[in-house]
Amino acid sequence: MLDRDGLEGRAARIVNELLDRLVEGAEDVDFRGGTFLLTSMAAEIGQHVHRRCIELAREGNGSWELAASDADSLLTGAWRCGETIVQLTERGL
């Protein structure tokens, strides 16, 4: 059985640690760069989730393709957000 609450709590702790270490504490990343870094990280995670869902679908349960589609939306949304951040930064906004 999936321990959804436990996994969500674990994910929140891991993300907070990553944010502190890779984004907030990084001397070479300003706030805008850090925001873009976050969108890039979300896209990378989306790619991994997408691949795993596709593998689960190939193992015999095609219903996992629905989750793969949602992961694809996560991936696309993250990259679109990143592109918007780049455009806003280039305009000096």
How far is residue 38 CA from its own chain's centroid?
Answer: 8
Q: Specify the pTM.
A: 0.82
Closest of 71, 22, 81 to residue 49, by C-alpha: 71
Q: What tens digit of pLDDT does each residue of 2-60 get?
A: 799 999 999 999 999 988 888 877 778 888 888 899 999 999 999 999 999 999 999 98
Domain spans of the chain? 4-90
Find out whether 39 and 81 touch, Cβ atoms under 8 Å.
yes
How far is residue 2 CA from its own chain's centroid?
Answer: 21
In angstroms, the CA 81 to CA 25 distance is: 22
Q: What tens digit of pLDDT does each residue of 45-83 get?
A: 999 999 999 999 999 888 999 999 999 999 999 999 999
In angstroms, the CA 39 to CA 41 distance is: 5
Q: Is the pLDDT of residue 1 over 80?
A: no
